[in-house]
A and B are shown apart, each in its own frame.
Chain A
Amino acid sequence: MTADGARPDAGGQPVPGTPAHPVLSLDRVCLSFGGLRALDELDLQVGGREVVSIIGPNGAGKSTVFNVITGIYEPGGGDVRFAGRSIAGHLPHAIARLGIARTFQSLRLFLNMSVIENVMAATYGGTKAMPWESILRLPRARREERAVREQAEEILSFFGQRLAGYRRDQPAYSLSYANRRRLEIARALATRPRLLLLDEPAAGMNPAETHEITELIGRLRDERDLAILVIEHDMHVVAGCSDRVIALDHGVKIAEGGFDDVAAHPAVVEAYLGRDPEALAEGE
C-alpha cells in the first residue's frame, strides 16, 4: 500500500498527532561511542496514555534510546525531559524513581529470587523503612511490607493465572521464557511508573503469546493510564498496539506517523530491504 500523499516528513515539521503536552520528550539527543554516532539529533515525544513504537533494523539505535532515557548512558547533546523536567545526567535509580520503568531485551530478572520477590524488590524506591525499622518490625516497616505485598499480588493478578498461584513463590529461573517476559513487565509496574519502556516484549514468543502481549499493551495503557514506548520487531504487535510509530536507522529518525504510513515509507523499506535496484537505476 502506498501512502505517498499522507507521508509524514521525517526530521522536518512536527508530525500531526504528536502530543501537545508530552510526558516524555527527547530534544535533539545525540550520543556517540568513539567515532560511531549512535543517535543523531533525535526528537521523540510520548504523550500520556499513548503507545509509541520504535522500529528499525538491527543496530539502528533503538535500545540505545532506552538506555539514554533510563540514564544508563548520558546524552552527548540535547535534552531528555520527563514530565516537564530535564532528566539528562540523572542516575538510573533516580530516573526510575521519577516514574520511568523499563524491561530488558535480554531478560534481566533477579533469577534466584522468587516471582513475588522480584516484584516486591522493585518497590524499594517507593518505600522508606530503614533497616533497623525492619529488624524491630516497627509500625512503618510493617505497614509498608503489607502494602508492598498487596501491591505485588495485585500486579501479578493483572497477568491472570500466568504468574499467580503456586508460581508466585517459585524462583524466577523456573519460569518459562514467555512468563519471564511477563514477570519483567510485572516488575516494571511495581515501580509505579507513568512511562513504561518495553524492549522487544514479544521476542521469542509463539503467535498466541504474541497476540496476548499485544492485548496486554493495550490494557496497560487503558487500565493503568500508562504512556508506553515499545521497541518491537514483530510487525503484528506494532500494528496492533501502536498509536504512533517511529522508524530509526543509524540513529536517525527516518519516518514517523501511523503504522500504515511508516511501514510504506520508502526510507523505511530501504532501511530494511536495501534500495530497489530498478529504482536505483531510474534515479541515476
Chain B
Amino acid sequence: MSVDPPSAAGAGPEVGADEWVARQARRHEQLPGLLGQAQRLAGRVGWWPRLAAAALAAAALPALGLGGFQLQVGINALLLALLALGLNVTVGWAGLLDLGYVAFFGFGAYGFALLSSGQLGAAGIHLPAYLSLPIVMAGAAILGLLVGLPSRRLIGDYLAIVTLFFGEAFLEFTTNVAPRTLGGPNGIVGIDPIQAFGVQLTSNAGYFYLLLILLVATMAALRLLDNSRTGRAWRAVREDPLAAAAMTIPVSRVKLMAFAFGAVIAALAGTVFAAQQISVFPPDFNTAYLILIYAGLILGGAGSIAGAVLGGLVVVIILDGFLRSPTEAGYIFYGLILVALVVKLRPWRKLAAVAAATIALGFAAHAVAGAISARAVAGGPQSTGWIATAVRDWVIVPASPKTAGNIAFVVLVCLLIALVQARGRWRTALLPPAIYLAACVWEARLVAEPSITRQILIGVVLIVMMNARPQGLLGSRRVEVPA
C-alpha cells in the first residue's frame, strides 16, 4: 500500500499537490508590480551573464568621469568587497566565526610592504609583483592554517575569542616588535607601486581596474569552488559537523582549508591596499575595520558571493561616499526615518497622522522655546543644504548646542527604549516626539561628529536589516539547525 506520487497532469502540477504548493510559496516570495517583473527577469539571466554585466558596468565608471575623490571611494569599496568575499568563505560557508580576519589583510599589506620597499636590508627589497604577490599569498595560506588550528577543537564563541586574540596580537606585533623593520606606530612608508615586466601601476584608475579584475576573478573562482566537492564540504561542515564526518568529510581539514582560503583572499586585498596607499600603519588593520568587513558581509548576506560583494560596496559607499559631508549624511538620516515610517506604519491615515503630529509638534516646540528664550533657538541646524533650510524654524538648536545636544541624546535613547517597550496606541503616541527629538539631536550634535555618527548609522542599518531581511540583501533564507 504505497502512496501514489502526485501525477503531473497537463502543463503544471495538480492543484494541491506538493509541487503546486511549492510553486505557490515561491510566487508569494516575489515582489508585486514592476519590481517583481524585474526580479523575474533577473532570475532568468544566469549567474555568469550577470557577473559579466556588473563587471562591464563597473569598468565603465571611471570613463564616466569620476573625480579623484569618487575614484578613491570606489577603490575602498572594491577593497572591502574583496575582503567580505574572503570572509564569506570562512564565516558564510564554513561557519567559522573568525574575528582575527583583519590580521590576514594586515599580513598581506605588511608582507608586500617589506618585499617592495627600502625597509629590509641596506638597499631594500624591490620584488616585482609576479614574485611578491605569490610569496605573500603563500605566507598568508600558511598563517591561515596556523590560526585555523584551534578550530579543530574550538567552535562558536570560543573560536571567536581565540581568533580575536590573534587579531589584537597582530596589532601589538606591528606596533611594538622590531620597530626598525616594521616601523612601529610610524608604519612603513615609501612602498613601491605594483610593478611587473617594466610596467608600474601608479594612477588611481589603474588600481581601480586592478581591484576590479581581482574581484571579478575571485568571484568567478569562488563560484566554481562553491559548486564543487570543496564548497559542498564547507557548507556541510557549517550545517552539521558530526553528520559531515559521518559522511566521509574530514571536518578538521576542511575547516583549515576554509581558513587558508579566507586568509589568501584577505592578503591579496592587503597587497593592493599597501601598493595603492604607498604606506601601511598598524591602525589600518584594527577591530573597527574588522567590524566594517563583517557589516558588509552581514548586510549583503553571508553565504552569497554576490551578497558579500554588494554588502562591501554598499557599506563603503554609504560611509565614505555620503557620510563625509553633513548635507549628504542628512539625506541618509532623514531618508532612513522616512522609509522606516512608510514601510512600518499602516494604514496610511496613521502615517499621515504621525507625520502631521511630528511637524506640528516641531513648530509648536520651536515657538514655545523661542518665546521663553531667544538663545534656546539661536543655534540653527549644524548641517547645510536645502534640508537645513527647511527645518531651520522647526528644530530647536541652542546657541551652544554641545551640552544641550548631549543631554538630548541621552533623553532620546531613553525615549527610544520606551518606544520599543510600548505597545499599540502608546507606541504611536510616542513616535512624533521621538522622531522630533532625533531630528533635534541630529542637527544639534550628531552632524558635527561624523566619526560617531558613522558607527551609530552602521548599527541602525544593521538593526533595520535584521528586522526587515535577516538573510541580508542577497542571502537566501536559512533555517537554524536544532541542537
Instruction: Please list the residues of chain A having a beta carbon within 8 angstroms of any beta carbon in chain B.
Output: 70, 72, 91-94, 96-97, 101-102, 104, 108-113, 117, 120-127, 129, 131, 134-135, 137, 141, 144-145, 148, 160-162, 165-167, 170, 173-174, 187-188, 190-191, 208-209, 211-212
**Which residues of A sit under 8 angstroms from B224, Cβ to Cβ?**
134-135, 137
Smallest CB gap from A122: residue in B: B247
B264 to chain A, nearest CB (A): 11
Residues of A within 8 A of B18 (CB): 167
- Interface contact B249-A111, CB-CB below 8 Å: no
Option from A104, A134, A141, A191 in Cβ contact (under 8 Å) with B248: A191
Instruction: Assess A113 versus B247: contact at CB under 8 Å? Given A123-B229, A131-B261, A135-B221.
Output: no
Judged by a CB distance under 8 angstroms, whether B70 is at the interface is: no
B228→A141 contact, CB < 8 A: yes
Binds A, one of B76-84, B238-246, B278-286, B322-330: B238-246
Contact (Cβ within 8 A) B248 A111: no
Most chain A beta carbons < 10 A, residue from B1, B3, B225: B3
> Are A134 and B243 in contact (CB-based, < 8 A)?
no
Query: What is the predominant secondary structure among interface residues of chain B facing chain A?
Result: helix
B48, chain A: closest CB distance, angstroms: 13
> B22 at the A/B interface (Cβ < 8 Å)?
yes
**Are A124's CB and B239's CB within 8 A?**
no
B242 & A72 in contact (Cβ 8 Å cutoff): yes
A20 to B236, CA, bound (A): 38
From the candidates B6, B19, B22, B249, name the one contacting A93 in the complex (CB within 8 A): B249
Question: Does A110 lie within 8 Å of B235, measured CB to CB?
Answer: yes
* Measured CA separation A127–B240 after assembly (Å): 20
Residues of B within 8 A of A173 (CB): 479
Beta-carbon nearest neighbor of B254 in chain A? A124
Are A113 and B239 closer than 8 Å at their CB atoms? Answer: yes
Name the interface size band of chain B.
Answer: 35 or more
Residue of A nearest to B234 (CB): A121
CB-based contact A124/B248 at 8 Å: yes
User: Any chain A CB within 8 A of the CB of B469?
Assistant: no
CB distance from B392 to the nearest CB of A (A): 52
Q: Is B467 an interface residue (CB 8 A)?
A: no
Question: 3 closest Cβ contacts across the A-B interface?
Answer: A125-B248, A161-B5, A134-B228
Asked whether, in the complex, the Cβ of B240 is within 8 Å of the Cβ of A108, the reply is: yes
Residues of A within 8 A of B246 (CB): 70, 72, 92-93, 96, 101-102, 104
User: Closest CB-CB distance, A1 to chain B, in whole Å?
Assistant: 26
Task: Report A100 CB to chain B, min CB distance, Å.
Answer: 9
A208–B2 CB distance below 8 A: yes
Within the assembled complex, what's the spacing in Å between the Cα atoms of A145 and B18? 30
Contact B229–A191 (Cβ < 8 Å): no
Quick check: B22 and A170 within 8 Å, CB to CB? Answer: yes
B interface vs A, CB < 8 Å?
1-3, 5-6, 18-19, 22, 221, 224-225, 228-233, 235-236, 239-240, 242-251, 257, 261, 476, 478-479, 481
Q: A121-B236, A166-B19 are in contact. Are A108 and B243 (CB under 8 A)?
A: yes
CB distance from B307 to the nearest CB of A (A): 14
Q: Which residues of chain B are within 8 angstroms of A144 by Cβ–Cβ distance?
A: 229
| 24 A-B pairs in the complex with CB atoms less than 8 angstroms apart | A70-B246, A93-B248, A96-B247, A97-B248, A101-B247, A108-B242, A109-B239, A112-B478, A120-B229, A121-B236, A123-B229, A124-B236, A124-B247, A124-B249, A125-B250, A131-B225, A141-B228, A148-B229, A160-B5, A161-B5, A165-B19, A166-B19, A170-B22, A174-B22
Q: Which residues of B contact A110 (CB under 8 A)?
A: 235-236, 239-240, 243-244
Given known A113-B235, A124-B229, A173-B479, contact A208–B245 (CB-CB < 8 A):
no
A167 neighbours in B (Cβ, 8 Å): 18-19
- Which residues does chain B contribute within 8 Å of A109, judged by CB atoms? 239-240, 243
B residues within 8 A CB of A134? 224-225, 228-231
Q: How far is the CB of A162 from chain B (nearest CB, A)?
A: 8
Query: Contact: A125 with B249, CB < 8 Å?
Result: yes
Is B1's CB under 8 angstroms from A208's CB?
yes
Interchain CA distance A64-B1 in the complex, whole Å:
34
Residues of chain B within 8 A (CB-CB) of A161 are: 5-6
Name the CB-closest residue of A to B223: A135
With both beta carbons as reference points, the residue of chain B lying nearest to A92 in the complex is identified as B245
> B22, A122: Cβ atoms under 8 Å?
no
Q: List 11 extra interface pairs beyond A92-B242, A211-B2, CB under 8 A.
A: A91-B250, A96-B246, A96-B248, A109-B239, A117-B232, A121-B229, A121-B233, A123-B248, A126-B248, A134-B230, A134-B231
Min C-beta distance of A149 to chain B, whole Å: 10
The answer to whether B247 touches A187, judged by C-beta atoms less than 8 angstroms apart, is yes
How far apart sit A70 and B18, CA to CA, in the bound complex (Å)? 36
Decide yes or no: A111 and B481 within 8 Å by CB, A131-B257, A134-B228 being known contacts.
yes
Contact yes or no, B247 A166, CB < 8 A: no
Distance (whole angstroms) from the CB of B119 to the closest CB of chain A: 32
- Within the assembled complex, what's the spacing in Å between the Cα atoms of A166 and B5? 13
Q: Which residue of B lies closest to A125 (CB)?
A: B248
Distance in Å from the Cβ of A195 to the closest Cβ of chain B?
A: 13
User: In the complex, A43→B343 CA distance in Å?
Assistant: 66
Could you say which residues of chain A place their CB within 8 Å of the CB of B244? 93, 110, 121
Q: Output the least CB separation between B258 and chain A (Å).
A: 10
Nearest CB on A from B96, distance (A):
16
- Which residues of B have CB within 8 Å of A145? 228-229
A197 to B18, CA, bound (A): 30
Q: In the bound complex, what is the Cα–Cα distance between A52 and B49 (angstroms)? A: 53
**Is B247 touching A131 in the complex (CB atoms < 8 A)?**
no
Return A183 CB to nearest CB of chain B, in Å: 12
CA separation between A268 and B186, bound complex, in Å?
Answer: 78
Q: Which residue of chain B is the closest to A106 with respect to CB atoms? A: B482
In the bound complex, CA of A104 to CA of B228 (Å): 25
| Residue in A70, A93, A208 whose CB lies within 8 Å of B3 | A208
Assess the B243–A104 pair: CB atoms within 8 A: yes
Q: How far is the CA of A72 from the CA of B235 in the complex (A)?
A: 21
Least CB separation from B303: chain A residue: A112
Choose among B249, B478, B479 the residue that contacts A121 (Cβ–Cβ < 8 A): B249
Q: How far is the CB of A42 from chain B (nearest CB, A)?
A: 21
Flag if B225 contacts A113 (CB, 8 Å).
no
> How far apart are B280's CB and chain A's nearest CB, in angstroms?
29
**Docked pose: A162 CA to B6 CA in angstroms:** 10
Nearest B-chain residue to A179, judged by Cβ? B18
With both beta carbons as reference points, the residue of chain A lying nearest to B249 in the complex is identified as A124
| A111 in contact with B2 (CB, 8 Å) | no
> Which residues from chain A contact B239 at a C-beta distance below 8 Å?
109-113
How far is A209 from B246 in the complex, measured between Cα atoms in Å?
26
Q: Please state if A111 and B479 are interface contacts (CB–CB under 8 Å).
A: yes
Chain A positions within 8 Å of B240 at CB level: 108-110
